Amino acid sequence: MYVVAGVVLEKIYAKKWETFVQKNIFDPLSMKRSNFSIEASKKDYNFAFPYEKEGQGFADAFFVNLSGVAPTGTINSTVNDMLKWVSFNLNPGKFKKIISDETLEKIHEPQMLMDGEILKDMPELSYSSYGFGWFVSNYRGHHWLRHSGEINGFTSEIAMLPLDNIGIVLLANLDEGLALLKGLEFSLFDRLVAKLSENKVDWDGRLRKYVGKQEEAERLEEKKVEKEVLFDQSKFKFGGKFLHKAYGIIEFKDDLKVLKGRLNDVSFNIIFRKYSDEGLIFKTKNGMRYGKEFEGGNNLELLLKMKKDALDQVVLLSTYEGGIGVVFRKAL
């Protein structure tokens, strides 16, 4: 969706998406430390390294280059710069006009209904809609706009209570940090809004319980799969290189002990999970650590499509629906 929006913008204005955002958003709002590339971030005097959970501790993660799909997540920024963006959304009249009041109002309005599964455990949150780049909802009866972001080694949460003139920016250089940021967000709202501060919710306890349930369900699923699935790797040929124009090259090498892969500069092992109607589903072991192989844990799910028992296509399952998604095709 965001890639398409970026392409349309480039066609209309005859300039790169990055150039347009720099001139029409970053410069007018004086967002001087925001950029569009890993290389630019590393030149900053105080940039963050990415990390991921590993067992009970943490490990180095690798920087992900999304320049091929820039509008989906290449912006790197700081808390202070993002607060300028939030302040503009809350009080556009105090800044140089970069968009009409009518358009900004439309951006903040609901456009489509979203899944409300989490509401079973959190009645303080209403069902969500999606506007243009903002989730629209209510937090304990207060109008609430927000958007989360997750990429390898980094997590973000930007949130506003517009009628209370409150905005929050939370950034973490950690994978799977969204529950922590949500807990901080809700706790801050409860402290900053007078009526909510009279009856604070134990968000730390609530979210620990919620995350604990998810982790226990994953552990049970792991045990179930390990017990039930038998897989003879020797019957298949997995070797080869597979190309995606935006994500690069993923390569597999046959090994009777462990199936090894490599995505650009990142080496990893994968383990068999289950059969599907379209092929074989594998999961990478642990978070992919830059330039290293790893053991233990889980990360990405891959669908390996076979053709006469030989690997033909590699699909990132998290992106795949109705036959459409990120598909690496066999390189000639």
Same domain, 258 and 170: no
Closest CA relative to residue 183, chosen from 148, 213, 153: 148
Structural domain harbouring 149? 35-215
Residue 39 host element (H or E): helix 38-42
Three-state DSSP at 283 gives strand
> Which residues, listed in sequence order, are joined to residue 260 by a DSSP beta bridge?
253, 269
Backbone φ and ψ of 72, nearest 5°: -80, -15
Q: What dihedral do alpha carbons 5, 69, 43, 51 form, nearest 10°?
A: 120
Between 90-99, 157-166, 214-223, 254-263, the lowest mean confidence (pLDDT) is in: 254-263
Q: Would you give the DSSP letter of residue 11?
A: H
Q: Of the residues 215, 246, 261, which one is the last residue of a structural domain?
A: 215
292 to 19, 248, 281, 296: CA distances (angstroms): 35, 18, 23, 13
- Domain assignment present for residue 273? The answer is yes
The rounded percent of the chain whose pLDDT value lies above 90 is: 41
| Domain endpoint, select from 186, 215, 244 | 215
Tell me: pLDDT of 77 over 90: yes
Question: In this structure, is residue 119 part of a structural domain?
Answer: yes
What residues have CB less than 8 Å from 43, skipping those under 6 apart?
none
Contact (Cβ atoms closer than 8 angstroms) between residue 179 and residue 173: no
Q: What is the DSSP string of 160-217?
A: EEGGGTEEEEEEESSTT-HHHHHHHHHHHHHHHSHHHHTT---HHHHHHHHHHHHHHH
Residue 211: pLDDT band with limits 50, 70, 90: confident
| Shared domain check, 191 and 113 | yes
Nearest CA-CA partner of 32 in 94, 84, 88, 99: 84
134 lies in the same domain as 205: yes
**Any domain includes 93:** yes
Mean pLDDT of 69-73: 86
Alpha-helix residue ranges (DSSP H) falling in 46-177? 79-90, 101-107
Q: Is the residue at 16 inside a domain?
A: no
pLDDT > 70 fraction of the chain, expressed in percent and rounded: 86
Q: Any idea which residue has 């994953």 for tokens?
A: 218
Q: How far is CA 235 from CA 226, 231, 241, 246, 279, in A?
A: 19, 9, 19, 31, 14
Q: Indicate whether 161 and 282 sit together in one domain.
A: no
| Residue appearing with tokens 């999961």 | 283
By three-state DSSP, how is residue 130 classified? strand
Q: Both 239 and 302 in a single domain?
A: yes
Residue 297 banded pLDDT, cuts 50, 70, 90: very low
Give the total number of structural domains in the chain: 2
Q: Mean pLDDT across the stretch 241-245? A: 88
Point out the domain boundary residue: 153, 187, 215. 215
What number of other Cβ atoms are within 10 A of residue 31's Cβ?
A: 22
Give the CATH number of the domain where residue 194 resides: 3.40.710.10
pLDDT for 296 equals: 32
pLDDT at site 299:
61
In a domain, 13, yes or no: no
Q: Indicate which CATH number applies to the domain containing 250.
A: 2.40.128
* Pair 200, 287 in one domain: no
pLDDT tens readout for residues 95-120: 888 999 999 999 999 999 887 655 66
Q: Where do we find the tokens 């067992």?
A: 55
